[in-house]
Structure formats: C-alpha cells, structure tokens
Amino acid sequence: MVTDQLKADFLFNAQQDEKFNFDDDDLVELKPYGLSLNNENARPFLILKDALGEHTLPVAVTQIEAGVALSQSSPTQISTSPHAFLEKLLSSLDIRIERCVFIEITGNHQYVRIFMSGHSTYQSIKLRADEAMSLCLHLKVPFYATKSFIQKSKVMSTTSMDETAQIVMNQRNVAVKKELLH
C-alpha cells in the first residue's frame, strides 16, 4: 500500500515545486540522437539534440536504461520493451504523458518533471532523469530543457564522459539504412 508520505516524496503538484522556474518560450525541444558508451565502469550517456543541432544535452543513464534505449532504437528488431505493460496501464487509466522537462541538477543527478494529463490529482511527477529516459523514449514523449540547463549539464558531464566514447544509436541506424538500400 502506498502511504501519503510516499506519495508526497514522489509526486509533486507542478505549482508547489519551487525548483523549476521556466517559461515555455525558454524551452528547447530535444530529440534522441545517440548513446555514448564508455568502458564498462563508466555511466553511459543518452545524447539529445535540438532540430538544428545547436544544442546537445548529455543525460547520464544507468546501464539498464542504456540497454533498453538501444534495443528500442533498432527499426529491424521486434520491440520487447519492459515498458509495454506500463504503456497499457496508463492508457487504460486515460493518463497521457505529455512532455519531459529537465528541471534540476543536484550533485551528479539530473532531474526531470514528467507532465501528464488525465490524472485526477497530479499534473506532473518529478523523477531522476536516469529513471525516466527509456520510458519516455518508448512512449515517444517530447523532451525539453532550457539553454541554461543544457549548459550546466555539459559542465557536469565533462568530468563523467570520456572523449573516446562511441555514439552508437545513430551509427547503428545509418548501418541499417545502408543495408536496406542494398
């Protein structure tokens, strides 16, 4: 059973959260671009970019989230997402996730606010970004961040990200497209 205190720890009414102050005009829409894989001890990064390629947001994710994101990116593979059940559950409850907005950096963690419609009490939920990325990718939820958040994340991630990392999702997609053309 979920207690009221537990609910209070995870669900926040958007108007009560003082940590995110942004105007919709300040937000940059970001799309999944690739996945940066380092050695086995380093955290992978999901790379998000805006449509013009001017802004890049590295998002540290767990190895499990990276694996799910990578498996979901393959157009030739049958989707076996662990999120299929949650997608059906949300749909049956008429809850729709509208957008994912990056709002805060605390220590080595980025936080997002997931905005939703259809819930009787809450308009949003605040989560660590590494806990939400693969679900948002699966549901094709649009990602947003302010330019200042993107800049702060780049500074945060330079100590965590190795320059020799590989960006795999886009390379894999290009290889698949070349196979299909031949």
Full domain range(s) for residue 57? 4-181
Q: How confident is the model at residue 20 (pLDDT cuts 50, 70, 90)?
A: low
Instruction: Record the pTM.
Output: 0.72
Q: What is the pLDDT of residue 27?
A: 93
Are the C-beta atoms of 157 and 60 separated by less than 8 Å? yes
pLDDT in tens, 148-179: 999 888 776 554 444 334 445 555 455 444 45
Q: How confident is the model at residue 73 (pLDDT cuts 50, 70, 90)?
A: low
- The number of domains in the chain is 1
Q: Quick one: average pLDDT of 75-84? A: 66
Q: Where does the chain have alpha helices with state H?
A: 4-10, 63-73, 84-92, 129-138, 147-158, 168-181
Task: Indicate which CATH number applies to the domain containing 137.
Answer: 3.10.690.10
